């Protein structure tokens, strides 16, 4: 497809502003850790399970350390030193703390404790690296990647075993990616539920056992049909780093992992989110997981035409946060959506302009394109047409991850037959228009090109303004999604802890070896 005439110097200015914005936040936040980062560290080191009251053991141990003023030094060396002192494993230590039989304290030999923590961290990094290598080998053995746009399909029954049945059926019908929607409200839980779950509202709880069960089922159906089926879950909310850790260990392939979604849409404290997103993205980057960002959600609360520049600005900021955490462009599933009001004249042209603009600004990114939802009315026939137009834009602009639109959007959680029709719609459009992008061109100076240029100019101006005020102030103004949040507001601020001068965590040095040690810690 011919390219839109966009000012590359303008794109470069916008990207430089976004980089400075992201680094301003990182420089302010890297001096802190969170209870969630420390729980994720212990999970990666091998701690799991729950106590007699079903409280996760990582929560019990970090609460114990927090009460004793030890979290500021980092949980890893305290736990590793205690294990060495008492000659016990990490699970035995956790249970003893939960039972009140063991009190944790600073190790007498800090150097030895750090070395032991490093060895434990190295072991899990090797395990995660093997999972990544297995994924890559399986894709090669299956004949390579499926052609894009990948068909991304949601299951959300609340019961992991029913989810598995629906996910396998969807894979056999042609889905490339299965996303297991989390139970409503899980992002606000400051703990991760344990074990296989069969009850959830609007989705299924994200647990390590649920990850393991779905991964095994998709591997089995993938072998049957000769394709690798990717698995997605939601790495956001108050337990963002822990879910990233579990997903890395269980070989998830994608994670919803946005730098601002929890702040804006779940009222999670800004500081907590910025700290947690760095650690979680670092884990995802190391594991070869593709992150999905949440800019599509902005267009459910703000107008898709008027707020288009805020989507692009957020994508550029998300890109820079991702770079800081070690993610590569092909792991950046930057999000956008087909959400312009269908009653707007030339709405299809504006959708095409926005999608092509994003494609050209992020030529190497693994873009995630979301279907119409805000203006779906329950008229299934019109909805099916809206989804078909969305499919056309996706294939024309060569998107990567294509979340299937459902004609029953706004009516109910999709049935298997709804998903089947959505897959058939997309596969028909993708096949019949596969090479159309190479056969048509944009009119120079035409409406599509002028619209893209306008959005780019507004984006560059907005980012320059945010660079001057700072991202927290921009969020407080309601710049994104017309929702305002403050630096000290929201849930989870009590879990933000200033690092001591001798704070230690073994994972940044292992997962981001090129980063300056002081900044990585």
For residues 122 and 118, what is the distance between their CA atoms, to the nearest angstrom?
6
Please say if 368 is a catalytic residue: yes
Q: Which residues lie below 8 Å from residue 114, measured CB to CB, with a gap of 6+?
A: 76, 77, 80, 504, 506
Please say if 26 is a catalytic residue: no
Task: Output the 3-class SS for 40-106.
Answer: HHHHHCCCCCECCCCCEHHHHHHHHHHHCCCHHHCHHHHHHHHHHHHCCCHHHHHHHHHHCCCCCCC
Taking CA 12 as the corner, what is the angle to CA 10 and CA 14, rounded to the nearest 5 degrees?
Answer: 70
Question: For 427, what's the count of Cα atoms within 13 Å in the CB-facing half-sphere?
Answer: 11
* Torsional class of 59: left (φ above 0), alpha (ψ -120 to 50), beta (otherwise): alpha
Q: Which residues lie below 8 Å from residue 275, measured CB to CB, with a gap of 6+?
A: 29, 30, 32, 33, 34, 37, 496
Please say if 504 is a catalytic residue: no
Single out the catalytic residue among 176, 253, 296, 418: 296
For residues 437 and 251, what is the distance between their CA atoms, to the nearest angstrom?
34
If you count them, how many residues does the chain have? 521
SS3 482: coil
For residues 242 and 249, what is the distance between their CA atoms, to the nearest angstrom?
11
What are the structure tokens assigned to 69, written together? 């003023």
Q: What is the bridge-based pairing of β-strands 230-234 and 290-292?
A: unpaired
Single out the catalytic residue among 261, 286, 298, 369: 261
Among 131, 137, 138, 185, smallest CA distance to 158 is for 185
* Phi and psi, residue 45, nearest 5°: -80, -5
Q: What is the bridge-based pairing of β-strands 177-180 and 32-34?
A: unpaired
Single out the catalytic residue among 228, 276, 368, 387: 368
What are the structure tokens assigned to 17, written together? 């502003």
Query: Between the CA of residue 263 and those of 25, 299, 490, 510, what are the distances in Å?
Result: 14, 16, 8, 29
- The residues assigned a catalytic role are 261, 296, 368
């Amino acid at each position: 497809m011919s390219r839109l005439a966009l000012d590359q110097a303008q794109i470069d200015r916008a990207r430089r502003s976004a980089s400075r914005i992201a680094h301003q936040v990182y420089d302010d936040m890297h001096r802190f850790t969170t209870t969630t980062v420390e729980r994720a560290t212990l999970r990666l080191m091998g701690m799991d399970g729950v106590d007699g009251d079903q409280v996760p053991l990582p929560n019990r141990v970090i609460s114990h350390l927090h009460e004793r003023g030890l979290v500021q030094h980092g949980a890893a060396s305290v736990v590793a030193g205690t294990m060495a002192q008492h000659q016990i494993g990490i699970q035995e230590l956790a249970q003893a703390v939960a039972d009140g039989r063991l009190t944790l304290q600073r190790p007498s030999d800090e150097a030895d404790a750090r070395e032991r923590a490093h060895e434990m961290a190295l072991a899990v990094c090797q395990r995660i690296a093997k999972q990544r290598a297995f994924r890559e080998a399986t894709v090669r053995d299956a004949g390579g990647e499926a052609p894009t746009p990948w068909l991304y399909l949601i299951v959300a029954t609340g019961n992991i075993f029913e989810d598995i049945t629906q996910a396998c059926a969807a894979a056999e019908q042609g889905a490339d990616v299965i996303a297991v929607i989390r139970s409503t409200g899980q992002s606000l839980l400051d703990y991760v539920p344990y074990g296989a779950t069969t009850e959830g509202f609007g989705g299924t709880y994200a647990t390590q056992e649920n990850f393991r069960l779905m991964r095994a089922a998709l591997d089995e159906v993938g072998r049957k049909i000769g394709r690798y089926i990717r698995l997605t879950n939601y790495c956001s909310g108050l337990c963002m780093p822990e879910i990233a850790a579990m997903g890395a260990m269980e070989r998830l392939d994608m994670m919803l992992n946005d730098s601002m979604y929890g702040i804006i849409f779940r009222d999670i404290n800004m500081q907590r989110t910025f700290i947690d997103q760095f650690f979680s993205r670092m884990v995802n980057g190391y594991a070869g997981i593709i992150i999905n960002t949440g800019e599509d959600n902005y267009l459910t609360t703000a107008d898709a035409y008027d707020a288009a520049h805020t989507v692009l600005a957020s994508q550029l900021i998300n890109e820079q946060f991702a770079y800081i955490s070690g993610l590569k462009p092909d792991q950046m599933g930057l999000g956008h959506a087909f959400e312009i009001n269908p009653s707007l004249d030339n709405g299809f042209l504006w959708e095409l302009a926005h999608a092509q603009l994003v494609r050209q600004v992020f030529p190497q990114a693994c873009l995630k394109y979301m279907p119409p939802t805000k203006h779906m009315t329950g008229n299934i026939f019109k909805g099916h047409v809206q989804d078909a137009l969305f499919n056309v834009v996706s294939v024309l602009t060569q998107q990567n991850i294509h979340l299937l639109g459902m004609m029953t959007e706004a009516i109910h959680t999709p049935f298997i037959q709804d998903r089947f029709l959505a897959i058939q719609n997309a596969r028909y459009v993708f096949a019949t228009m596969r090479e159309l992008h190479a056969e048509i061109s944009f009119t120079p100076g035409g409406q599509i090109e002028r619209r893209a240029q306008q959005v780019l100019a507004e984006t560059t101006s907005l980012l320059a303004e945010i660079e001057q005020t700072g991202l927290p102030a921009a969020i407080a103004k309601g710049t994104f999604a017309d929702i305002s949040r403050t630096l000290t507001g929201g849930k989870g601020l009590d879990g933000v802890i200033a690092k001591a001068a001798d704070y230690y965590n073994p994972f940044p040095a292992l997962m981001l070896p090129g980063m300056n040690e002081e900044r990585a810690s």
